[in-house]
């Protein structure tokens, strides 16, 4: 299969183990190992200098048993069909675990958006949207932002789709600006959820927020927001990093000040209250909680034996390999899996979609309260299953998500 890749194989191996533990009907597991629908498109885009450059885009829908598919759009030079397919599968388990009426999807364009002008990014986004129109819709498949895409990207996607329909369709995407149907609380939802789950897990281990040392790889929207909320709760965020650099202060970083500095200067350089550190060094710092919130495959069999944390809270998708998982389990390091830890984004995306369909919007207090309720309920369910089945939290989360989809497939039956 063209979507075979190391990440896809890792996600399928995780699924196979969950299916075996659930004693899943082979007919169901055979279906869920593969995506329902995949689309590869070429995107000719006129650049600012007049030449035409051709990009490759993808949209994969893994499953639609529970409802329309849902998943982000990423712009990155390393985007490929295998990665997108794996991420779509993870979205299926995540939505099912959280009790949302969605299946999993993912999309992306192979490009370096940082090298493109605003006008080029807009033309790329509009062309990509027009090429995947046959697969998306408020009741079919709802995109959202992911790596290197944002509210503006979603606004362009919504406008492109709406122009084809002849009227505004806010429910076509989530994560868009509030002015065109976005929701309060969406921008910070994933990072806030990571912080909430981290604190719940810490409490189960007898750790108090006050003085709890936290290291965060990835200081973008997810990692930066998680750092801010954890610091407000009294945690000591001792290190953060982005794709280029990191900064470390054992006494704790002043996160709000550091966020302003990084936004204004575009770098940690010049910030006086910390020492430079690499991403690799950050992962191995002694701390209570390590939050990998950047990209996949950061905790591997090579560095897992050297980690000195008590908890790993996965802010990114797929940051820990299967081989690393086994090492961490043997070492007694608890891993809170991505499909639970970073699910705040898709939960509030669901809230946005519901509000768009109803044309009725909630207060931020209502959104945050409902988010925490769903996260706490999912956490308790995963923790209980982990204890009862004597499996890791990752396996418990996968088992709960897979079981919900499999049961729905069984009840619906096979067509024709």
Here the tokens at position 29 are 């597991």
Helix (H, G, I), strand (E, B) or coil at 238: strand
Burial class (CB in 10 A: 0-12, 13-18, 19+), 134: exposed
Backbone angles phi, psi at 276, to 5 degrees: -65, 145
CB atoms within 10 A of CB 370: 16
Which tokens go with 195? 């912080």
Residue 302 CA to residue 72 CA, distance in Å, equals 30
Longest dimension (CA), the chain: 67
Q: Which of 240, 316, 334, 383 is nearest to 83 (CA)?
A: 316
Strands annotated E in 195-273: 213-217, 236-241, 246-248
Q: Who's near 102: CB < 8 A, 6+ residues apart?
A: 66, 67, 68, 69, 70, 91, 95, 142, 346, 350
The two structure tokens encoding residue 46: 């006129």
Beta-bridge partners for 45? 53
Catalytic residue among 70, 94, 106, 176: 106
Is position 269 annotated as part of the catalytic site? no
CB of 190 closer than 8 Å to CB of 94: no
User: Running DSSP on this structure, what letter comes out for residue 299?
Assistant: B
Residues whose CB is less than 8 angstroms from the CB of residue 202 and which lie 6 or more positions away in sequence, other chains included: 208, 209, 212, 288, 289, 311
Query: In whole angstroms, what is the distance from residue 155 CA to residue 136 CA?
Result: 15
CB atoms within 10 A of CB 319: 27
- Crossing angle of helices 393-412 and 6-22, in 10° steps, is 70
Question: Which residues belong to the active site?
Answer: 106
């Amino acid at each position: 299969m063209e979507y075979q890749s190391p990440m896809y194989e890792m996600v399928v191996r995780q699924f196979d183990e969950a299916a075996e533990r659930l004693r899943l009907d082979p007919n169901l597991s055979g279906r869920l190992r593969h995506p329902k629908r995949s689309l590869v498109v070429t995107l000719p885009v006129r650049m600012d200098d007049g030449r035409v450059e051709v990009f490759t885009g993808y949209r994969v829908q893994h499953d639609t048993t529970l409802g329309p598919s849902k998943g982000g759009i990423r712009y990155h030079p390393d985007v490929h069909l295998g990665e997108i397919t794996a991420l779509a599968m993870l979205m299926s388990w995540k939505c099912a675990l959280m009790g949302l009426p969605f299946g999993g999807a993912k999309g992306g364009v192979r490009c370096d958006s940082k090298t493109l002008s605003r006008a080029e990014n807009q033309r790329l986004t509009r062309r990509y949207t027009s090429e995947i129109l046959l697969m998306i819709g408020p009741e079919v498949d709802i995109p959202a932002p992911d790596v290197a895409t944002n509210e503006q990207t979603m606004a362009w996607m919504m406008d492109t789709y709406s122009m084809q329909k002849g009227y505004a369709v806010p429910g076509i995407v989530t994560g868009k600006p509030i002015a065109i149907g976005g929701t309060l609380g969406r921008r910070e939802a994933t990072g806030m959820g990571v912080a909430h789950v981290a604190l719940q897990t810490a409490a189960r281990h007898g750790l108090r927020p006050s003085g709890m040392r936290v290291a965060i790889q990835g200081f973008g929207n997810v990692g930066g927001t998680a750092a801010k909320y954890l610091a407000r709760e009294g945690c000591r965020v001792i290190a953060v990093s982005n794709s280029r650099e990191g900064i470390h202060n054992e006494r704790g970083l002043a996160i709000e000040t550091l966020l302003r500095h990084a936004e204004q200067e575009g770098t940690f350089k010049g910030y006086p209250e910390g020492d430079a550190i690499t991403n690799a060094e950050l992962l191995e710092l002694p701390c209570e909680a390590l939050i990998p919130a950047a990209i996949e495959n950061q905790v591997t069999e090579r560095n897992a034996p050297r980690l000195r944390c008590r908890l790993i809270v996965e802010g990114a998708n797929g940051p820990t390999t299967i081989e690393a998982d086994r090492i961490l389990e043997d070492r007694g390091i608890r891993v809170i899996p991505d499909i639970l830890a970073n699910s705040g984004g898709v939960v509030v995306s669901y809230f946005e979609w519901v509000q768009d369909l109803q044309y009725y919007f909630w207060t931020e207090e209502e959104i945050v309260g409902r988010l925490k309720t769903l996260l706490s309920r999912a956490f308790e369910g995963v923790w209980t299953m982990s204890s009862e089945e004597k499996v890791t939290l990752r396996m418990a989360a996968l088992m709960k998500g897979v079981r919900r989809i499999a049961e729905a497939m069984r009840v619906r039956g096979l067509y024709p």
